[in-house]
Structure 1
Amino acid sequence: MRIGELSKATGVSSRALRYYEQQGLLRSERRPNGYREYAPESIKIVAFIQDLFQAGLSSDVVREILPCARDEHPPGDCAELLTRVRQVRDELVRQEQHIAERRRRLDTYLTEGYEAPRRGIT
């Protein structure tokens, strides 16, 4: 399929697909007329790439993950890579906990403490 068809099938812009290819995340074959031709499984690969980006992973990490996901022989160690991904996930959990605590403080202020601080201000 050509880039426009892949874009339509995935909801990802042609520009983003060219970026994925430039970053080594997506492969295409060039036809004699210069058009890119993508394999049918590219739809699933693009969806996977989108999921990883939305999870906050960088292109470098995504590039390393893809061969592990494809059952290819990756240049690195898939187990080590999973450890890195777990670290990213754990950092997100810490950030979520911090945000939840901040939200609780604001809720307390808005529901219980709004009048008390104002009384002391002149």
Structure 2
Amino acid sequence: MRIGELAVRAGTTPRALRYYEARGLLPARRAGNGHRTYDEGDLKLLRQIRTLRDSGFDLEETRPFVECLRAGHPEGDSCPASLVVYRRKLDELDALIEELGAVRAKVGAQLARAEEARDVLAADAGVPGGPEPVCELGGRRR
């Protein structure tokens, strides 16, 4: 198949395919007329790349999976190098989750503090729901 058909079937663009070819992820086979030609194996490589990219892997992280498929394994994640990338990605995700948990706790504490301060102001003003908002530029909102 030619580059346009492969791009459509893989859900990408010919430009992306040429980029993958330049990066050594997609084989560069040419027909006698100079057109790029691809087969079902190339489509499988692209689907593997797309699945990994959709899961947050950068393009270089897909290389071991592509090489595993090229080596004849039915799945791109059955080789030792692919497993190393999976483990590294999980460690990265765990660190991000931990970082986001800390940020969430901080924002939650700030919200609780702000609500408490609002409630104190409301009680001091004797106004249910809090005092009337004051514009930072000096006047009351209307």
TM-score by length of structure 1 reads 0.74
Whole-Å separation in 1 of the counterparts to 2:36 and 2:9? 15
Whole-Å separation in 2 of the counterparts to 1:41 and 1:117? 63
Letter in 2 for 1:94: A
Show the 5 A alignment for 1:1-122: 1-72=1-72, 78-110=79-111, 112-116=112-116
CA contact (8 A) 2:68 2:82 kept: no
The structure having more radius of gyration, on CA atoms, is 2
Aligned residues: 115
- 5+ residue gaps, structure 2: 74-78, 121-142
Q: Secondary structure at the match of 1:67?
A: helix
Q: How far off its partner does 1:28 sit?
A: 4.0
Ranked by relative contact order (alpha carbons within 8 Å, sequence separation 6 or more), the top structure is: 1
Whole-Å separation in 1 of the counterparts to 2:104 and 2:115? 19
CA contact (8 A) 2:49 2:62 kept: yes
Q: How far off its partner does 1:63 sit?
A: 2.1
Whole-Å separation in 1 of the counterparts to 2:24 and 2:117? 56
87-96 or 11-20, larger mean C-alpha shift: 87-96
CA contact (8 A) 2:26 2:42 kept: yes
Instruction: Give the share of equivalent positions with the same residue, in percent.
Output: 35
CA contact (8 A) 1:26 1:45 kept: yes
CA contact (8 A) 2:3 2:36 kept: yes
Q: How far off its partner does 1:80 sit?
A: 4.7
Shift in CA distance, 60/86, structure 1 to aligned 2, threshold 3 Å: same
Q: Secondary structure at the match of 1:41?
A: helix
Relative to total residues, which structure has the larger helix share, 1 or 2? 1
Letter in 1 for 2:14: S
